[in-house]
Structure 1
Amino acid sequence: MSGKVALVTGATSGIGRATATLLAERGAHVVVTGRDTTRGEQVVDEIRAIGGTADFLAAALTTADDARTLADATHELAGPIDILINNAAIAVFGATAAIAEADFDACYAINVKVPFFLVGAIAPGMAERGRGVIVNVSTMVASFGTAGSAVYASSKAALELLTKSWAAEYGPHGVRVNAVAPGPTRTEGTTAQYGIDRLEALAARAPARRIAEPTEIAQAIAYLADEHADFVHGIILPVDGGRTAV
């Protein structure tokens, strides 16, 4: 990935952080984004300490303008974007009748609207250059029904359909678009929201019988972003310990 510019949203922790680090290890100039400047700078410092190239751009992604501003700022800072990782997301859970409209709107804004307008701002440039990669981060629960996850799961199901639509739209112009659908993963966010016991209970339903580490999801993302996956277009790659296979 030497010489390529990679924009990773939600890269200050968890899967995004692991992905940003791995892409930098493989030679990409990584633009780390997130809301927390302190954590973002820590990620950049860690990448530079291992000989990688990275910069941080603070971004609270909720609107189309936020997405366009981030795309423009990344281009100005690092040059044309070769790899876009749509990882930033929030999870809203609860009974359908109990979900507040503001929470519903917030979930769809960052999980669906922002990736939509980021791709709209970045993919045309990739298509003009005849190359580019977009990897969207979904979730295993976008593939099956679970009580209490209607908002989050449906937002990610929308992202998966967008993945296929973008593959059809931009694939003929040299831009590959795919998605990764993780299962239970040990991150700061999931540990705080669910607790280890609940994560382990979820993981116990899958053949692997364990929680994933962020680096394992990052490896799958990096595979799809790499030239070795040049013939892979429009897939949703489950990285869920086999949960959706049984």
Structure 2
Amino acid sequence: MSPLAGKVALITGASKGIGRAAALALAKDGASVVINYSSDSAAADEVVKTIGAQSFAIKADVSTIAGVDQLVKDTISKFGKIDILIPNAAILPMKDLEHTTEEDFDKAFALNVKGPYFLVQKAVSHMSAGSHIIFMSTTLCTASTVTPPYLLYNSTKGAIEQMTRVLSKDLGVKGIFVNAVAPGPTGTELFYKGKSEDLLKMIAGFNPQKRIGTPEEVAATMAFLAGSPWVSGQILRVNGGMA
């Protein structure tokens, strides 16, 4: 039997990048998967088509409480439960202290922090003992190579790591496991956008393996956590030894 057979996974931002790779990995392991997206219905439909009948796409703005509330309600209406919750949707604003506006700050924290926080709040009553919540952080929270323009983004991911740590205690009494995956540089469409070959070579050079990770490698770690019976409260740095 597939390790996740009969499980239901809800993944935000699942039409592209790491979210898409996670959806495919969990489906391969037998899970039914809800593909959340914000605007690109064609990309979401492509993921559903690839997975097949065990998947379902839901458009929702997960930077709002109304959006996450509706997403959970639609998931329960379709599948009746949630076993694996992956709040993956996020933005990466390149803003140092001097150039951050209030609008930048509010937009980043709405999607990267408020959305995951209240998605868990809305979903947890539909999650039974043995369920898993997998947050997304970043290796840049600990990497010595971090530069000032990552200030705003890293601030949001620092919040995610504290949510992971504390919620593992809060929800652990209900038998729900809470972890986070913190990728290093990962070859998504968003990551490659606007980067020169020289810059990509420099970034790859920070890694002892001299390459950039793939979404599938990060997704494999997420699939591991989704089926783990005794890992909770951990931040897994998935970066090939970079940091």
- Give the superposition deviation at 1:96: 1.3
Whether 1:40 and 2:44 are equivalent positions in the alignment is yes
One-letter code aligned to 2:48: V
4+ residue runs of structure 1 moved beyond 6 angstroms?
none
One-letter code aligned to 2:139: M
Whether 1:94 and 2:98 are equivalent positions in the alignment is no
The structure in which a higher percent of residues are helix is 1
Q: In the superposition, relative to structure 1, how do residues 130 and 8 fare at CA in structure 2: closer, same or farther (>3 Å)?
A: same
- Give the superposition deviation at 1:88: 0.5
Distance across 2 between alignment mates of 1:197 and 1:9: 32
- Give the superposition deviation at 1:193: 4.8
Residues 20-169 of structure 1 correspond to what in structure 2 (within 5 A)? Answer: 20-35=23-38, 36-48=40-52, 53-126=54-127, 129-144=128-143, 145-169=146-170
Question: What's 2:219 paired with?
Answer: 218
TM-score where L is the length of structure 1 = 0.92
Q: In the superposition, relative to structure 1, how do residues 18 and 196 fare at CA in structure 2: closer, same or farther (>3 Å)?
A: farther
Question: What's 1:13 paired with?
Answer: 16
One-letter code aligned to 2:81: P
Higher alpha-carbon deviation: 129-138 or 192-201: 192-201
Q: In the superposition, relative to structure 1, how do residues 39 and 182 fare at CA in structure 2: closer, same or farther (>3 Å)?
A: same
- Give the superposition deviation at 1:189: 0.9
Whether 1:4 and 2:7 are equivalent positions in the alignment is yes
- Give the superposition deviation at 1:223: 0.4
Deviation string for 1:76-123 (max 9, x for gaps)?
112110000111100011331112221211111111000000001112
Identity of aligned residues (%): 39
One-letter code aligned to 1:120: Q
Question: What's 1:236 paired with?
Answer: 235
Does the CA contact (< 8 Å) of 2:188 and 2:214 recur in 1?
yes
Distance across 2 between alignment mates of 1:83 and 1:92: 27
- Give the superposition deviation at 1:196: 4.9
Distance across 2 between alignment mates of 1:124 and 1:195: 46
SS of the aligned residue for 1:98 comes to: coil
Does the CA contact (< 8 Å) of 2:18 and 2:188 recur in 1?
yes
Distance across 1 between alignment mates of 2:167 and 2:95: 30
Deviation string for 1:152-184 (max 9, x for gaps)?
011011001101111010112110000000001
SS of the aligned residue for 1:95 comes to: coil
Unaligned runs of 5+ in 1: none
Does the CA contact (< 8 Å) of 1:143 and 1:157 recur in 2?
no
Question: What's 2:203 paired with?
Answer: 202
RMSD: 1.4
SS of the aligned residue for 2:208 comes to: coil
Distance across 1 between alignment mates of 2:198 and 2:101: 27
Higher alpha-carbon deviation: 113-122 or 196-205: 196-205
Does the CA contact (< 8 Å) of 2:32 and 2:54 recur in 1?
yes
Unaligned runs of 5+ in 2: none
One-letter code aligned to 1:133: H
Deviation string for 1:207-232 (max 9, x for gaps)?
22210111000000110001xx2110
- Give the superposition deviation at 1:206: 2.1
One-letter code aligned to 1:121: K
